[in-house]
Structure 1
Amino acid sequence: MPKRRDHHLPLAPDITCPALINSDGKLVLQPPGRPSDDSGAEHSLKHGSEHGPEHGPEHSPVHSNGISATVPSCAEEVANHTWMLEIVYRAKGRWKLPGVATVENGKERFTQYFESNETGTRLLNLTGVGSLTDIVLAPVNCTVESQATLHGFRRPNLEDGPILIIAPHPDDAELAAYGLYSRHPKQTWIVTLTAGERLKRLDKQYLPGLDATLEEGSRRKGLIRAWNSATTPLLAGVPAEQLIMLGYFNDTLPKLLETPDDTVPSYGDPALTPRDFRAWNNFSLPSDATAENRGADLIEDLSTILSKVKPTTVLVTHPEIDPHPDHVASAKALAKAMSHSSHVPEHVLLYANHLKGARGFPNGPAHAAAGVWPTSQRTSQMPSWGLHSESLSLEAQKGKALSLDSMHDLRGKKSLERQLKCWLRRKKSALESGAWKDYADHDFFQTHIKAHENFVVINGKRFLAGVSH
C-alpha cells in the first residue's frame, strides 16, 4: 500500500481557485469566490495531515497580495503567471514511476513525475501552457483525485534591471538558471564565490594520472573550474566582463562567516590564494591586492559588486531547502553584503541544487516537467513565498545540456555498481527505455535538464530580515 506523504510549502499565491479533473482528464476551473477579508494573509499550502484522512485539498480562495481572483483567460495573462495545480495522486505499485502528462490541443507538452510507492498532495507544474482551459491531464502509473486547486503566482519583472546570480561553485548557476539567464543574457551578471578546487582523491582527477599529489591536482581542478565559470555563460551570450570569479575556497564558506578576520587555507593546497583563480576577471575587486581567503574580504567583494551593479533581481541558494554548507553560507554572505552595501534588490529568487534525502529530484528523465521541492516545510524565517517557474523550450533545454557538458566537474563516469543500479531502477520504472536520455553519466543530466527551472520569490527586504535573523 502506498505511503501517505503530503508536501507543504509556506506559499502565498496571488490567485487560488478550485478546479475539477473530469473523467476525461480535462481541467475544469470553478468560479472563484470573493476575496477574503485578510488580504495580506500568508497561505501555507496545507494538504491534510501525514497521519490524517486522505481527502482532497481545501478550496477556499486566497488573495494574499490583493490581486483579483479571476483566472486569466488570454494567452498574455496566462504567460504572466507561474501556475501550480494542487492535486492528490496515488502511485500504482512499488517501483513504477508515477506521473501526470499535460496535454494541450492533443499534443503532450510535458510529463511531471512523482515519488514511487507514495500517495499524497503535490503541486503539478502547468507553467508554459498557452491556455488553462484547453488542457487534459493524463495519469501515468498512478491515479489522480478529481478535486484540485489551481494556484497562480504573478511573475516578477526580470526586465526591469540587472540580474545578479550568486553561484557558490562553478556549475551552480548553470544547473539552477541556465534557461533563465539565457533569456536575459545582456543584463545578467554571474558571481562565482569559490573555485571548487578541492580534490579529495587522486583517482577523481579529470585526466587520470596527470598529477602526482592532491595539492597539484587541486590547483589544476580549481584552474579548469574557474575557466569553466568564465566561459560557459558565453554560450548564452552573457558578456565576459559580467562574469566574476571571487576564487574563495571550496568547503570553507561557513568558516569564513564564523571567523571573518581569519585567513582559512584551502583544503586542497594550503599554498593557494584566491588570486590564483581570478585571471579571467574583467572586474576589479577590493581584495585583489591581498587576495586572502577571509570572510571580511568576501563580504567586501560582494558589497562592492552590489553597489556597482545595483541588481533589481538576485538569485542565490535557498538557505532552508538546499543543505550544502557552502550553499547555506552563500545566502548568508549575500545578506551580510546587502547590509554593508545598503543596496537591497527588489526581489530575490532562491534555488536549490541539492536536497537532503531526495537524490534524483526533479524526478524522471531529461525533458520532463520539474515540480517544486519534495519537502514538508510549513514555516519560514522568510514569510510569504512566491514561486517563479521558468519554462524552457526544447531548444533551451538542449542548450542547457551543452552548458553542463562544458563543466568538467560533471564529466565523471558511473562505477559498474552504479550503472547496474541505474539500469534496474529504469527497468522497474515501467517507462519506455527511449524515455531516458543518456547525454552523460552524471545524474544532473537527467535531473536538471527539465522543462522548467523553479525558484522561490522573496521580497528583497524580507530576504534580508529573514536570513539575517
Structure 2
Amino acid sequence: MSELINRKQILLKRYRRNKCMGLLVSLLILICVGLLVVWWLPILLAVFTWLVHENWFVEYLFYSPKNDYQYKFTADTEQLGVTLDKGRLVLRQEFELIGDETLILAVRLKSSMVGHFIDPYVVLSYDDRQVFERGVNGLRYLNLTGQAQLLLSGQLLLRSRFCHVQGELVLSVFRYPDVRRQRMMVIAPHADDAELAAFGLYSQTVQPWIVTLTAGEIEAEHYQRMGLSKPEAARLKGRLRAWDSIVVPRWAGIRQEYLIQLGYFCLQLMAMKLEPDRAVVSLEAELNDIRVFRQFNQFLLPADTNGLATWSNLLADLRAIILLARPEVIVLPCSLLDSHPDHVCARQAVLEALQDLEWQPTILLGYANHLHDNNRWPMGDSGNGVALPPFFDTTYTLLPYCVSLSKQEQCNKAMSLGMMHDLQPRISFKRRVRRVIQRLFSGRAISPWGENDFFRKAVRRHELFWFVKYK
C-alpha cells in the first residue's frame, strides 16, 4: 500500500526537480542573450517561454504517450471485431446488445504533427469527444457505453482529429448485474469524493448509503483569509465539510439516516494504520477528538464512546455500519489507480473490516478520483465521455463498469459539487490566466459548471468504475 504512495512522491519530486533545472537553464540562456545581443530580446523570449510552459508543460505524465495501455481482461470477456467504414463503426457479425452493457473499443492512435501541440481526440456521433495525450502513439480504449443502439444500426460515427486510427479495432463487451437495484454503500475518504466519483450511480440506486471517513479539515487557507487562526480555520472547514457530507447527498434523494460522517482527521489514516491502537491528532485543527465532526449523525457508533482517532476505532465503526446497512455492493477507491494516501487507506480499512464479518457484500466497485500517472485525467472537457485511464501492469485484471449520465443527471451532479464548500473558493489568478492561455492556444474549453478543475473532470456523460466479484 505505501509503495504506491511513495512511488508517486518520488515521481513528483523528480518531475519538479527536472522542471526547476530546465527553468534555471532557460534563465541562464536568457541572461547570455541579453549580454551578447540586445537587452529587450531576453524579455521577449521570457514571455514566450512562459506561454509555452503554461500551455504545454504545466501538466505531468509519468509515462510516455507512445506507450500502449496494457489492460488485461478476463478470458470470458466477449470481444468482437469492428471495422471503420466511411466513418461509421460496423460490427463484423450480428450481435445482441440490451443497451446497458459497458462497451470498450480498443483502438490504436497515432498523433499527427499538430497533435503534438493540440490535444488529439476522437469524436463519437458528433456529441462525444474523447481526448488523449499530445503525441499519442499507441493502444488506447474508447468508451462506447450508451451508444449500443447506434452501434447495432451501423449509425455510430467515429472521426479522429489531430490523430489517426490505425490497425484492428476490437470491441469488448462487459455484462453485469444492475447494481442500482441492490443495497449499496459508497465509501468516501473525504466529503465530495462520493459525488465526484458516483453521484450518477448512487442517485439512481434504490437504497444507497454514503459513509465519509474524514472531515477533510486541512488546507484551510481560504478561511484563514477571513481572519481566523490556522486551527480555527481548520476546525471551521472540517465542520463545513462534515455538514456537506450529510446534506449534499440529500439533493439526490438519499435519506439522512443513510448518511454517516466518521470525522477522522485528514491525511492521518496512514499514521493510524501503522499503529492501530495509537490515537492521532489533527495536523492543523489542534484536535484529538473526532466527535466534533460527528454531530450530524443520526445514531451512535463505537468510536463515539471515547472519540479517539485510531485505526481500531475506524474498523469498529465500519463493521458496525456494514452490519447495520448490509450492503450488497460497496463502492470504494481503487488503489491501483488512485494513489492519494487517504484513498488507499480507506480501501484497506474496508477490506480489513470485512474480514470474518458475518455480512459480506457480493460486489466491490472501485473508483479513481486522483490518478497518479496523469494529473489531467479524465482528459477533455465537461460533458464528454470518459475513456479508460492509463494502466500498464498486466499482472492485474481491471474490468470496467460504466454508468451513463443524461444531461439532466450531469446538471444535478454539477449542482451537488457546487454545494461542496471545498470546491467553491476561486482558483488563483495564475490558474485563471493559464486557462485563458490554454483556451487560446489549445482550444481547451472552460467548464461552464465551475472554476475548480473537478467540474471538468467529474461532470461527464460517464462514471467509470472497476468491477470485482467479491463473494
Provide TM-score, normalisation by structure 1.
Answer: 0.82
Q: Tell me how far 1:117 sits from its aligned partner.
A: 1.5
Range with greater deviation from structure 2 (124-133 or 4-13): 4-13
1:9-24 aligned at under 5 Å gives the runs 9-12=71-74, 14-22=77-85, 24=86
- Are 2:230 and 1:208 equivalent residues in the alignment? no
State the one-letter code of the partner of 1:95: F
1:6 counterpart (54, 60, 68):
68
State the one-letter code of the partner of 1:123: Y
2:411 counterpart (392, 398, 405):
398
5+ residue gaps, structure 2, are 1-63
Match of residue 169 from structure 1:
190
Q: Tell me how far 1:280 sits from its aligned partner.
A: 1.0
Match of residue 204 from structure 2:
183
Deviations 1:37-62 (A, max 9, x none): xxxxxxxxxxxxxxxxxxxxxxxxxx
Q: Secondary structure, in 3 states, of the residue corresponding to 2:330? A: strand
Match of residue 460 from structure 1:
470
Match of residue 100 from structure 1:
122
- Are 2:116 and 1:83 equivalent residues in the alignment? no
1:428 counterpart (435, 441, 450):
441
State the one-letter code of the partner of 2:177: P
Q: Secondary structure, in 3 states, of the residue corresponding to 2:157? A: strand
Q: Is the 8 A contact 1:20 1:146 kept in 2?
A: no
Q: Tell me how far 1:254 sits from its aligned partner.
A: 1.1
Q: Secondary structure, in 3 states, of the residue corresponding to 1:120? A: strand
Match of residue 445 from structure 1:
455
1:71 counterpart (88, 95, 99):
95
- Are 2:140 and 1:122 equivalent residues in the alignment? yes
Q: Tell me how far 1:338 sits from its aligned partner.
A: 0.5
Q: Secondary structure, in 3 states, of the residue corresponding to 2:291? A: helix
Deviations 1:259-285 (A, max 9, x none): 111001111123341110111111321
Structure ranking higher in helix proportion: 2
Distance 2:333 2:92 in 1: 36
Distance 1:419 1:159 in 2: 39
Match of residue 303 from structure 1:
319
Q: Secondary structure, in 3 states, of the residue corresponding to 1:4? A: coil
Q: Secondary structure, in 3 states, of the residue corresponding to 2:117? A: coil
Distance of aligned partners of 1:224 and 1:272 in 2 relative to their CA distance in 1, 3 Å threshold:
farther
Q: Is the 8 A contact 1:246 1:278 kept in 2?
A: yes
Distance of aligned partners of 1:3 and 1:400 in 2 relative to their CA distance in 1, 3 Å threshold:
closer
Deviations 1:64-109 (A, max 9, x none): xxxxxx7324xxx232x10000001122322211111111xxxx34
Q: Tell me how far 1:177 sits from its aligned partner.
A: 0.3
Match of residue 129 from structure 2:
111
1:412 counterpart (418, 425, 428):
425
Distance 1:320 1:436 in 2: 29
Q: Is the 8 A contact 1:156 1:388 kept in 2?
A: no
Match of residue 253 from structure 2:
237
Distance 1:389 1:129 in 2: 12
Q: Is the 8 A contact 1:303 1:340 kept in 2?
A: no
Q: Is the 8 A contact 1:3 1:118 kept in 2?
A: yes
1:328-367 aligned at under 5 Å gives the runs 328-367=344-383
Q: Is the 8 A contact 1:82 1:127 kept in 2?
A: yes
Deviations 1:173-228 (A, max 9, x none): 000001111111x40000000000113x6xx22472241x2111111010000000
Distance 1:338 1:222 in 2: 28
Q: Tell me how far 1:459 sits from its aligned partner.
A: 1.3
Distance of aligned partners of 1:249 and 1:148 in 2 relative to their CA distance in 1, 3 Å threshold:
same
1:215-230 aligned at under 5 Å gives the runs 215-230=231-246
1:374-385 aligned at under 5 Å gives the runs 374-380=390-396, 384-385=397-398
Structure exhibiting the larger radius of gyration computed from Cα positions: 2
Q: Is the 8 A contact 2:280 2:288 kept in 1?
A: no
Q: Tell me how far 1:340 sits from its aligned partner.
A: 4.5
Deviations 1:279-298 (A, max 9, x none): 11113211212111011000
Q: Secondary structure, in 3 states, of the residue corresponding to 1:121? A: strand
State the one-letter code of the partner of 1:372: L
1:245-256 aligned at under 5 Å gives the runs 245-256=261-272
Match of residue 40 from structure 1:
none
1:279 counterpart (278, 286, 295):
295
Q: After the TM superposition, list the runs of 4 or more consecutive aligned residues in structure 1 that deviate by more than 3 angstroms.
A: none
Distance 2:454 2:136 in 1: 24
- Equivalenced residues, count: 402
Identity of matched residues, %: 33
5+ residue gaps, structure 1, are 32-69, 462-469
